[in-house]
Amino acid sequence: MGSDNRCENCIIRQFNSLRAMSKEELKQVSDSKTTKTIKKGEAIFEEGEKLNGVFCVRDGVSKLSKLSSNGKDQIVKLATKGEVMGQRSVIAEETSNLSAVAVNDMELCFIPKEIIVNTLHKNPDFAFEVLRLMAHDLKEADDVIVNISQKTVKQRIAEAFLYLKANYGEDADGYLILTLSREDIANVVGTATESCIRIISEFKKKGLLKSSGKKLGILDEKTLRELAEGF
Amino acid sequence: MGSDNRCENCIIRQFNSLRAMSKEELKQVSDSKTTKTIKKGEAIFEEGEKLNGVFCVRDGVSKLSKLSSNGKDQIVKLATKGEVMGQRSVIAEETSNLSAVAVNDMELCFIPKEIIVNTLHKNPDFAFEVLRLMAHDLKEADDVIVNISQKTVKQRIAEAFLYLKANYGEDADGYLILTLSREDIANVVGTATESCIRIISEFKKKGLLKSSGKKLGILDEKTLRELAEGF
DNA sequence: AAATATATATGATAATTGTCACCTTTTCGA
DNA sequence: TCGAAAAGGTGACAATTATCATATATATTT
């Protein structure tokens, strides 16, 4: 086993709560973790499933979604490199309220819940760090609630593109690095796929977005931002 | 000072994270806390305000809301007896993302943040308890997102009444104990006040709700539930 | 009790968004 | 590489919801 496979040496750790763990604790985690490769479109866990641990994203992006009673998926969060999925369910000792599906090819570490829970009870710094991250998630969730209920679909789609650029960046040609299908974007903003496609087409016609194959790029960020703010 | 004014003896404590505090810690909290009386309609804190502590609700109900760019208030959560407000901001060391306004007359205890943060760092049981409650809030926020984006206004209003009955109960005559204005209900479900009034009128005509003065009561819970589920 | 403000109510209308039908393009497996 | 399946796209229309105007009822103040 190469040393790059050890949590102690994992750079990803710098971005999540594991950075508050002691050398000893990290060693324990590393010894009991398993690494998984997940292909685009595959499920990591399903809504209602009992999670026996958490998943640390080493590479790729996962969509965390919840099925509504009308049969549509609502994407609640996108989890990226460095983020830990499943913490909420493990801490609350509940089955998962969300499903996780890979948006692109992923590499994950699975960490058994016993280690997480034990460390939470023994290491207050770790607990505080997890708390801080969960506080952040909660704030983001509040923002999503306000956006969905008070902004129009057009505003939310504009905002989604700004979010994708800000969080995942764009390539040398100005195309967004994270490519989501129209259906996924619709499920993020909470609208019908057709409505989403229509508005993206409109944005392209107006010169706000460009596309090449499946890739989409932002041409006019200023106008997009004004749109999102409601002007 | 009467002993009923001491956190150690406060029954409310049983319902929140403070139950995980030691005798010593509680004594500290009690010595530094201040009690406040807030009248209906008054603000406890505002969005953007820096909070120097948390508020423990001893009596009454507060609405936690966020102003959207279009000028409307979205109520994100109702905080009741036993709940602690402002934890998120104190933990994340950020200004509050929400405003808190009293829905009815309230009694609160204000606990300085230093004590909370210190205890979080020293007492893992307390940290874990806060974590558990925040995990629960996060799940509820996810549910709200899905409901708002996937259900119709009518479904959400039906759901709101079921929620009010389940969480606050009804009096001897079958009227809901927590009376919210139509505007508040509209701000909970994320719709225009007029739309909310219209749908409540419709529910009354259909015999699902009854009203007497400002009070509203549920007459046909079964149909209301079916409506909320989308039948 | 009168005057004023606030909350509730309702109609008319416009704007937004969803649904269904159908078509084209792209992707991917056999 | 062919053909099926999936994704993207668009029109027509229906349903939902917001907005504006205005009326009435209820609460609050003086």
Q: What is the pLDDT of residues B17-48, one digit of tens each?
A: 999 999 999 999 999 999 999 999 999 999 99
| pLDDT classification of A4: cutoffs 50, 70, 90 | low
Measured in whole angstroms, the distance separating CA A202 from the mean position of its chain's CA atoms is 27
Please give the full DSSP string across A66-99, using - where no structure is assigned. EE-TTS-EEEEEEE-TT-EESHHHHHHT---SSE
pLDDT at B5: 80
Q: What is the mean pLDDT of residues A175-181?
A: 97
* pLDDT score recorded for residue A193: 97
Answer yes or no: is pLDDT of B102 > 60: yes
pLDDT of residue A1: 46
How distant is C1' of C11 from CA of B197, in Å?
Answer: 14
Strand C contacted by A183 CB (< 7 A): no
User: Which residues have CB under 8 Å from A203's CB, separation 6+?
Assistant: A157, A158, A161, A209, A224
Pairwise CA distance, residues A169 & A188, whole Å: 18
Best residue in A150, A155, A185 for a mutation probing chain B (most B CBs within 10 Å): A150
pLDDT value for B69: 80
Closest alpha carbon to B127 in B116, B136, B137: B116
Query: Are A126 and A17 spatial neighbours (Cβ–Cβ below 8 Å)?
Result: yes
pLDDT at B161: 98
pLDDT(A2) > 60: no
pLDDT of residue B1: 47
Strand partners, B36: B108
Q: What is the pTM of this model?
A: 0.94
**pLDDT of B15 higher than 80:** no
pLDDT of residue B118: 96
How many contacts, defined by CB atoms under 8 Å, are there between A and B? 150
Torsion of CA A186, A190, A192, A197, to 10 degrees: -30
Which residue reads 């927590």 in tokens? B178
Buried b (16+ CB within 10 A) or exposed e, A33-42: beeeebeeee
Tokens of A112: 């058994």
The CA distance from A152 to A191, in Å, is 10
What pLDDT, in 10s, does the model give residues B165-177? Answer: 999 999 999 999 9
Question: Chain A residues with CB inside 8 Å of B189's CB?
Answer: 149
Provide the 3-class DSSP secondary structure of residue B225. helix
Cβ neighbours of residue A5 under 8 Å, at least 6 residues apart? A35
Percent residues over pLDDT 70 in chain A = 98
CB contact (8 A) between residue A70 and residue B135: no
Q: Which of A67, A44, A61, A27 is nearest to A164 (CA)?
A: A61
Average pLDDT over residues B3-30: 87
Q: Return the structure tokens found at A122.
A: 């023994």
CA distance B229 to B134: 27
Q: How far is B147 from chain A (nearest CA, A)?
A: 7
pLDDT at A81 over 90: yes
pLDDT bracket for residue B2 (50, 70, 90):
very low
Q: How confident is the model at residue B50 (pLDDT cuts 50, 70, 90)?
A: very high
Mean pLDDT score of chain A, rounded to an integer?
94
Q: What is the pLDDT of residue B231?
A: 77
Please give the mean pLDDT across all residues of chain B: 94
Those nucleotides of strand C lying less than 7 Å from any protein Cβ are: 7-12, 16-21, 26-27
Q: B123: part of which helix (H) or strand (E)?
A: none
At residue A173, the pLDDT reads 93
Tokens representing A49?
């499933």
The pLDDT of residue B4 is: 63
Query: In the predicted model, is pLDDT for residue B13 greater than 90?
Result: no
Cβ proximity of A35 and A109 under 8 Å: yes
pLDDT band at B155 (very low <50, low <70, confident <90, very high): very high
The number of beta carbons lying within 10 Å of the beta carbon of residue A5 is 12
Assess whether pLDDT exceeds 80 at residue A15: no
Return d(Cα A159, Cα B128) in angstroms, integer. Answer: 35
Is A3 a residue whose pLDDT tops 70? Answer: no
